[in-house]
Structure 1
């Protein structure tokens, strides 16, 4: 006799998921970006953030721009964004981008990230991309290790972003890639 199994899944997000995604973002981003951004610039108004998510989910700019949600039962515990890659050196037909992967800090280590990553890659492959890219903050060893353990590798591209437009808040990133499809 086998034991009970968890009711976990990943699916494409619906507009009705906007409040749950927003609440997760508001909870998770302070831990994810504490070393990069001052607390006052992180989103804290769940309703305002939910409005932005609802807009994105209702009217995506590109049919291949997707938001995926990781669920435990019917509770959103993570989300990922996929789209065509926008880098200047990207091949718009071949290169898809994993723009973000965010998990509820209390849900890490339970397999949600792996399921979400696999679903994101499967989604990019279904959209006929043959390579996936993502940008990782130089200091985010946890995410970089997670991705490299899953077969992603640095491709020598790097960038520095000016997050506040003044030069006071800068973040260095490296690009990782993997073949898909």
Structure 2
């Protein structure tokens, strides 16, 4: 029996180092020129791996999941999901809290598989909407997410990204996971 060339599955503690490495590369790229150099230098694979390992060992209550994309047996991407923490979100809104595909494995369908798997898990848990936040400067990710069916809803926030209170603007994107009345 052979493994699929590309797949998504729930992460295990053993995936933490690969997720940490991928997250560090993705965050370094996404925040390059946005955060000060000392913050950029803190995007450390080991620190991310430790945080993921701890979260996987003792997950928060509720529908929190870390899913990983694989090319063969190699972890090449991740998506973290949970209930939305936005004060204006209802109980049936899930959130993609982190998403990343290793730069060497992009444009191979891994991001789409991750988003689709995240939506499936959230829908199975009773979510009727999914939301995510995206840096204004990160046009590539925003284009990918809008092509995946998420649309800006007009909400934005200025996230503090440094010890000096520097901020970066993010916009919220949302999508319905169930058919709305009148969508036929």
TM-score, normalization: structure 2?
0.89
Q: Secondary structure at the match of 1:88?
A: coil
Q: CA RMSD in A?
A: 1.6
Matches within 5 A, 1:8-87: 8-42=6-40, 43-87=42-86
Question: Size of the alignment, in residue pairs?
Answer: 175
Say whether 1:121 aligns with 2:141: no
Q: Secondary structure at the match of 1:145?
A: helix
Q: Which residue of 2 aligns with 1:172?
A: 169
Q: Which residue of 2 aligns with 1:156?
A: 154
> 1:46 and 1:154, CA in 2 relative to 1: closer, same or farther beyond 3 A?
closer
Structure 1 stretches lacking a partner, 5+ long: none
TM-score, normalization: structure 1?
0.90
Shift, 1:44, TM fit: 4.9
Q: Matches of 1:32 and 1:6 in 2, distance apart?
A: 30
Q: Which residue of 2 aligns with 1:103?
A: 101
Please list the CA deviations of residues 107-158 of structure 1 after superposition, one character each: whole Å capped at 9, or x if unmatched: 1111111111111111111111000000111111111111111111111111
> 1:47 and 1:144, CA in 2 relative to 1: closer, same or farther beyond 3 A?
closer
Q: Secondary structure at the match of 1:82?
A: strand
Q: Which residue of 1 aligns with 2:88?
A: 89
Runs of 4+ residues deviating >6 angstroms: none
Q: Secondary structure at the match of 2:8?
A: strand
